[in-house]
A and B are shown apart, each in its own frame.
Chain A
Amino acid sequence: MDDTPHAHELFVFLAATAHDMKNSISVVSGTLERLLDDDAPGTALRDSTAYPQMAQMLYQTRRLNDNLMQLLALYKEVGTPAYPLDIALADVAQLGEQVAAGNRVLLAARAIDFEVAAAPGLCWHLDEDLVIGVVNHAINNATRYTRDRIRLSMGECEGMLEIRVEDNGDGFPPALLAAGAAAGRARAVDFRANSAGLGLYFATEVAKMHTHRGTAGTVRLENGGALGGGCFVLRLP
């Protein structure tokens, strides 16, 4: 692994991501274990069809955990992986459709109204998988802050593609806004502090990968916007 400061930063980021993932996995497997264990034979859950499915879920979670452990062990030898950037022309409305399709179940389960506003016919050169990844993360984050609405809007603004994820909650706490501002100025983000910072780091990396004639993409956080809550703003050249 090369010793440039950026590579080191990336390594710390990956280690932090892995840590965050392990936390999530622990929570999931812990919850499943509790549910499965509490239910004595003869009770409703034990006899329902959900029981074996939950058992399968627990098994998969364990696998995930083992694989992650292996990945981390291997990572140190393989070194810094570079992401194969794959820019192509994408229909912005279709991108919105894809994001909506990916989050429908989750948002409906939490009774959150999701709205997509995309400039019709607008096409942009971008890595769709990466951008969808960033937007999904922002939506996930917004589900924590919103009251009951999230809005994804995409359109052209000052020659850039502007993608906004907005909610109607109380807005981002000051610490997070500060982290967003730091990311916007390409300063080091303290993503060890919380998982939202983690997502912000990833989003900033993705934005930076998108360049056109000397201009790179940017990320910023603000409060207000169309729904009066927190806004995540990704701009791509």
Chain B
Amino acid sequence: MSAPAQPDLARIQEVAWADKNYLIVDDFVGIRQLLRESLRNLGARNIDQASSGGEAMNLLGRIRYDVVLCDYNLGEGKNGQQVLEEARQRNLLNPSSVWLMVSAEKSTESVMGAAEHQPDAYLIKPITEGVLLTRLNRVWHKKQLFRPIDQACAEKDYLRAARLCDDEIARGAEGEGANVHRIDLLRMKARLMEKSGQPLKAREAYDEVLAEREYQWARAGLAKIRMANGELEQARQLFQGVIAENRYYIDAYDQLALAYQQMGQLEEACSVLERAARLSPNSVPRQRHFGQVCLKLGNVGMAEKAFRKCIAIGEYSYVKTADAYLGLARVCGMKNEPKEALLLLGMVQREFPTDDVRLRAKITEGMVFHESGDYRRARKAGDELEEMLAVSPQRPDTTTCLEMATLLFSVGVKEAPVALLCYVIRNNHDSLLLQDEVQQIFDKARMGEEGVALIRASKKEAADLMNQGVLLWKTGKLDEAIAWMRHARTTLPSNLRILFNAAQILLSSMQQNGYNILLADEAIDVLMQVDRIHPGQQRFAQLMEQLALLAPETATHAADASAGAVDPA
């Protein structure tokens, strides 16, 4: 093609770049002017400019942009990645919006593997007009191709999304689609299979990639599956292999640290995280992880550094965490600076004004006083916690419940921790691991024998609650079964088996009596609760798929959805 501009011109008409809304974010006025000129030459009329991350956020909050050209380095304040993360998390971008990250050199962020919010493309300066247009077109066409898959993902219908990936791969192989996305599609499919609780299928997809080319992310994907399967040593070796191949693949460090932790090797986990934090220090989750491991090891100095860094990053980032403040408060307690700890606990409640954080701040307060030997104040915190529990029926996640029970026992409160532990057992009545953990807490509180009886009674209570619902369902009393499961869910809001069975019964009712929007919404609520507390369940993916097939627009497929089984306790 001796006239390379020709195909581009054809596409300009196809993609109406002139009518789109553009935002240019760069702290350097010269570059902004240059990019604006280039966009104007593409016919663009609506071009806004921002010279800082803060200014960009203001504009993004008011206007829906189709294309954002954002420099990675924005000087003081937020960087380009943080602007992107906040914009995505606050839903300020349309799914079709194109985000191009601009930088002076190849950034390590592009190859780290874990960044949840990747831009659509990285562009390296200098950017000529021609390059800008070709990249815009490419990104646009890729987004078109992935749109149905992304849509299915947004609806959490992971199995449908995975099937769409397969279809697209097949189209590419037959020369109908673009073969260039094959690897991306396989990567997407592997992730979907992981989310659907089907690690074997995820492994197949990764293996298919690796048969073609050694990709670190595929190798790391295999390692993660091994780790989830309890093959810790194999996982460790695989992660180390990935790091040896590419020392910038930071996700492998984070995962390797997790593997060491599960193997009980905290020192190793700590040193891996230290290396990762040195290579890529500006990650809130990594600094939090690092701080928490240091805390467990009793390395107060390193824990303090990690938590302080975590809070400092959070200043400009939308991704911040209460854990950093709570962890730092614990550090202060260990350094015998309870006043400083209390200041932090006040701060965290102002930064994160939720009931959950209020409760966890109070638990931390009790721990800080207990650790610094102020037993009177520790007991007072314990009493206040008891009051908070009495006021609200809501309970925090399992880890927090166990932490709270441990603290309450240690400051001399009796009834509240027992109730908490029974609550945890009722909501996890088939988890042997958790039962051991709860029994240990009872043992430490010198309630070993009572603990055994309490655990047994709680398990039975949960099983009875569930079996009654299954019995009603099996005897064809569907409405009664639904009503019973509603009651069971209110009593045990985080019991996976009960939640799954509740969703299954709602589904069978619709399979027999036809689609009902109220029941369908109820089933979705139940499944979303499952996904919140325990993501990656195979049954979740299956039920979501069946539910989607029941919806009227795909009513013709409803016959395919076979009735699943409700499992008794």
Contacts and interface: CB of A to CB of B under 8 A. Distances in A.
Q: Do A and B bind each other?
A: yes
B110 A87 contact: no
B188 to A, nearest CB: 13
A227 to B, nearest CB: 13
Contacts of A123: 179-180, 182
The dominant DSSP class at the B interface is: helix
B30 to A, nearest CB: 6
A114 B5 CA distance: 11
A90 B124 contact: no
Contacts of B213: 87, 125, 212
Contacts of B231: none
B559 interface: no
Interface residues of A, number: 29
Interface stretch (A22-30, A91-99, A181-189, A193-201): A91-99
Contacts of A101: 4-5, 8, 128-131, 133-134
Interface string A74-96: 00000000111111111100100
B128 A121 contact: no
A82 to B, nearest CB: 7
Contacts of A33: none
Interface residues of B, number: 37
Contact of B131 (A102, A114, A125): A102
Contacts of A87: 213, 215
B88 interface: no
A114 to B, nearest CB: 7
A82 B175 CA distance: 38
A56 B106 contact: no
B18 interface: no
A212 B179 contact: no
Contact of A104 (B130, B179, B246): B130
Contacts of B477: none
Contacts of A114: 2, 4
B30 A98 contact: no
A100 B184 CA distance: 25
Contacts of B180: 89-91, 94, 123
Contacts of B135: 98
A31 interface: no
A115 interface: yes
A21 to B, nearest CB: 13
B246 A85 contact: yes
B1 interface: yes
Contact of A129 (B1, B106, B181): B106
B128 A102 contact: yes
15 contacts: A82-B248, A84-B246, A85-B111, A86-B110, A87-B213, A88-B183, A91-B179, A101-B130, A102-B128, A105-B130, A114-B2, A116-B1, A123-B180, A123-B182, A129-B122
Interface of A: 56, 60, 82-91, 94, 97-98, 100-102, 104-105, 113-116, 121, 123, 125, 129, 212
Q: List the 9 shortest-distance A-B pairs measured between CB atoms, nearest first.
A: A101-B130, A100-B4, A91-B180, A89-B183, A84-B248, A84-B111, A86-B111, A84-B108, A125-B213
